[in-house]
C-alpha cells in the first residue's frame, strides 16, 4: 500500500483546486482529481470555441471553468494550484495566490513526491527524448514493468494507483517542469547543456539552475549521470550528493562510459566491458552515440550488457528525430523537426558524410545562431529558409564566410510556405542527395508544436510525385 498516496487523497478531497491549462497533460489530471471527489476549476487563456476538442473530453464532469484573456484574474480562494509546465511560476497572479496561502505545484511535482517506484529522469538541452526512450526500451527488454512519462508517454499522476514499488519509471523532464521541483529522482541523467529557451527563462543562469533541480535534492544513495564533454554538466559533479558517473565520447576516462576504438565501453577500477560497436547502432550520428552512452551509464547496473546491445542494433529511432521519411528517385528526405536549437541542427548535419539540402527556420526563442555559420558552410549545399529566424540563420552563415574568408558557395532560397519549401528542395536535389528538415528554431510561428510541423512536412513529402 502506498501510504503517501492514500494520505494525499485524504488531504486533497477537501481542497479547492485550480488547474492552469487545459492541454494534453492536464486533461488526465483533471479527470483524476474529479474522480477523487475534488472541487476543480480549470483555467485557460483560450476561449471555449478554441478549446472544443479538449472540453469535449471533460463533458459531463463537474468542472468549473475560467477561460479567455483575463482568465487568471479569477484565481482567488484556491488551496492548491497546478500550473502547466510552460507557465512561469513567478507570474504576478500566481505570486499573489501563493501570498494568500495557496500551494503552487504541478502534475509532475506531485507524481515525484508520491511515486513508490524507482525513477530514472533525463534532462538536457539536446537528446532528452531519445535517451529517455532508450532507457525505457532497455529496461523493458530486460523484463521490468516500466512507465514512460514527463514530456513523453502518459501523464503519470493519473496512473499512480497502478505503479508498484518493483516497477521502473522513466521520465523526460524539461527546464520548465524542473523550475519548481523539490523531489529529485534516484537516477538523474543530464545529456548536455547549451543556451536554450531564453525566450522563457530570464537568463542562462536561471535555465541552468532549473536543470540542476533534477539532482540537487538527491540523497547519498542516488546516482547522477553527466556528460564529461560538456563543461557545464561536468561542473555539476562538485554538487552531487551521491555517486556521479561520467560518459564521454571524446576523453578516455579511467572510470565511466567511453567511446574507444569504435566501441562503447564501460570502464571501472575492476574491469572494462564492451557494450556495442557503434557501426552496428541503427540510428546515425555522433549525438546518438552520446545518447546510447548516457543510457548505458543509467542502466548498466540493472541489465545485462547484451540487452543494451540488442536495443542499439534494432531500435529505428524516435519520430521527428532524423526520421527517414521517404526515398524518391534516389533522393532521401529526413524529418528532424525536433531540432529547435542551433546545437541540435549542427548535430544533425554532422550525421551526414556529404553535403545536404537543409530546410531551416521558425520562431525565434532568443538564442544565438552564430554557431550555425560554420556547419552550414561545411555541410550544406543548398539552404532553404522560412520563418522569423530565416534572416538570422543567413546572417550566421554570411558572417562566418566573411570572417574566415573561406571559399563557400551555399545556394540560399527564402520561402513563404512549407509547400514551397518542399517543392523547391526537391527541385534542387539530384540522385544521391539528402534533404533534411532541421529547423534550429521552434515551431510556434506556424504550427502547434514540432510534431505538427514534422507531420505536415511528411505529408508534403509523401505527396510528391
Alpha-helix residue ranges (DSSP H) falling in 190-341: 204-212, 231-235, 286-299, 305-314
109-314 belongs to CATH 2.60.120.10: no
In 72-142 the beta strands, taken as DSSP E runs, fall at 80-82, 103-105, 118-123
At 385-444, the pLDDT tens digits run 999 999 999 999 999 999 998 888 999 999 999 999 999 999 999 999 999 999 999 999
Q: What is the percentage of the chain residues whose pLDDT exceeds 70?
A: 99
Place of cell 475534488: 38
Does residue 196 carry a pLDDT above 70?
Answer: no
Helix axes 305-314, 286-299, angle to 10 degrees: 150
Q: Check: CB of residue 174 under 8 Å from CB of residue 151.
A: yes
Superfamily the domain 323-463 falls into: Mur ligase, C-terminal domain (3.90.190.20)
CA contacts within 13 A on the Cβ side of 48: 6
Confidence of residue 195 (pLDDT cuts 50, 70, 90): confident
Domain(s) labelled CATH 3.90.190.20 in the chain stretch across: 323-463
Confidence of residue 204 (pLDDT cuts 50, 70, 90): confident
Domain(s) labelled CATH 3.40.1190.10 in the chain stretch across: 109-314
* Residue 76, C-beta contacts closer than 8 angstroms, at least 6 positions apart: 97, 100
At 97-144, the pLDDT tens digits run 999 999 999 999 999 999 999 999 999 988 898 999 999 999 999 999
Structure-block grid coordinates of residue 412: 540560399
| CATH label, 11-105, candidates 3.40.50.720, 3.90.1580.10, 3.30.70.890, 3.40.190.10 | 3.40.50.720
Specify the DSSP class assigned to residue 239.
Answer: G
Mean pLDDT of all residues in 212-235: 97
Query: Which among 87, 86, 64 is positioned nearest to 76, based on CA atoms?
Result: 64
Does residue 24 carry a pLDDT above 90?
Answer: no
The pTM assigned to this predicted structure is 0.78
| Strand order from edge to edge, sheet including 256-260 | 146-150, 168-172, 118-123, 187-190, 223-227, 243-248, 256-260, 263-267, 272-277
Does residue 199 carry a pLDDT above 70?
Answer: no
At 234-286, the pLDDT tens digits run 999 999 999 999 999 999 999 999 999 999 999 988 889 999 999 999 887 88
* Residue 457, C-beta contacts closer than 8 angstroms, at least 6 positions apart: 325, 335, 337, 359, 418, 422, 437
Amino acid at each position: 500500500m502506498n501510504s503517501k498516496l492514500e494520505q494525499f487523497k485524504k488531504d486533497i478531497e477537501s481542497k479547492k483546486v485550480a488547474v492552469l491549462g487545459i492541454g494534453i497533460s492536464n486533461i488526465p489530471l483533471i479527470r483524476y482529481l474529479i474522480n477523487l471527489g475534488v472541487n476543480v476549476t480549470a483555467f485557460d487563456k483560450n476561449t471555449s470555441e478554441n478549446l472544443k476538442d479538449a472540453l469535449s473530453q471533460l463533458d459531463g464532469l463537474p468542472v468549473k471553468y475560467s477561460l479567455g484573456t483575463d482568465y487568471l484574474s479569477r484565481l482567488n480562494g484556491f488551496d492548491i494550484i497546478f500550473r502547466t509546465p510552460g507557465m512561469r511560476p513567478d507570474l504576478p497572479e500566481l505570486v499573489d495566490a501563493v501570498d494568500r496561502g495557496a500551494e503552487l505545484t504541478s502534475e509532475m511535482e506531485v507524481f515525484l513526491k508520491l511515486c513508490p517506484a524507482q525513477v530514472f529522469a533525463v534532462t538536457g538541452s539536446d537528446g532528452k527524448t531519445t535517451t529517455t526512450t532508450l532507457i525505457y526500451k532497455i529496461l523493458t527488454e530486460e523484463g521490468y514493468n516500466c512507465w514512460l512519462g514527463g514530456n513523453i508517454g502518459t501523464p503519470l499522476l493519473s496512473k499512480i494507483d497502478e505503479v508498484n514499488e518493483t516497477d521502473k519509471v522513466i521520465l523526460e523532464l524539461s527546464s520548465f517542469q524542473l523550475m519548481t521541483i523539490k523531489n529529485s529522482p534516484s537516477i538523474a541523467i543530464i545529456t548536455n547543456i547549451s543556451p536554450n529557451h531564453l525566450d522563457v527563462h530570464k537568463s542562462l543562469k536561471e535555465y541552468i539552475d532549473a536543470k540542476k533541480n533534477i539532482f540537487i535534492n538527491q540523497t547519498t544513495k542516488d546516482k547522477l549521470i553527466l556528460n564529461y564533454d560538456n563543461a557545464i554538466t561536468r561542473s555539476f559533479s562538485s554538487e552531487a550528493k551521491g555517486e556521479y558517473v561520467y560518459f564521454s565520447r571524446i576523453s578516455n576516462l579511467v572510470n565511466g562510459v567511453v567511446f574507444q576504438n569504435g566501441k562503447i565501453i564501460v570502464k571501472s577500477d575492476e574491469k572494462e566491458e564492451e557494450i556495442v560497436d557503434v557501426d552496428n547502432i541503427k540510428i546515425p550520428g555522433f549525438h546518438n552515440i552520446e545518447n546510447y552512452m548516457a543510457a548505458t551509464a543509467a542502466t548498466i547496473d540493472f541489465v545485462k550488457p547484451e540487452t543494451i546491445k540488442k536495443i542499439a542494433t534494432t531500435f529505428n529511432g524516435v519520430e521527428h528525430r532524423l526520421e527517414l521519411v521517404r526515398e524518391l528517385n534516389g533522393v532521401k528526405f529526413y524529418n528532424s523537426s525536433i531540432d529547435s536549437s542551433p546545437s541540435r541542427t549542427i548535430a544533425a548535419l554532422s550525421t551526414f558524410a556529404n553535403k545536404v539540402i537543409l530546410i531551416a527556420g521558425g520562431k525565434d526563442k532568443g538564442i544565438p545562431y552564430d554557431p550555425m555559420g560554420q556547419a552550414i558552410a561545411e555541410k550544406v549545399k543548398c539552404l532553404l529558409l522560412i520563418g522569423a529566424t530565416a534572416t538570422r540563420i543567413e546572417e550566421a552563415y554570411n558572417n562566418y564566410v566573411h570572417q574566415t574568408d573561406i571559399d563557400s558557395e551555399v545556394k540560399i532560397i527564402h520561402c513563404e510556405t512549407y509547400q514551397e519549401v518542399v517543392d523547391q528542395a526537391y527541385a534542387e536535389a539530384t540522385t544521391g542527395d539528402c534533404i533534411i528538415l532541421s529547423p534550429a528554431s521552434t515551431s510556434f510561428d506556424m504550427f502547434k508544436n514540432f510534431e505538427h510541423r514534422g507531420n505536415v512536412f511528411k505529408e508534403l513529402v509523401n505527396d510528391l510525385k
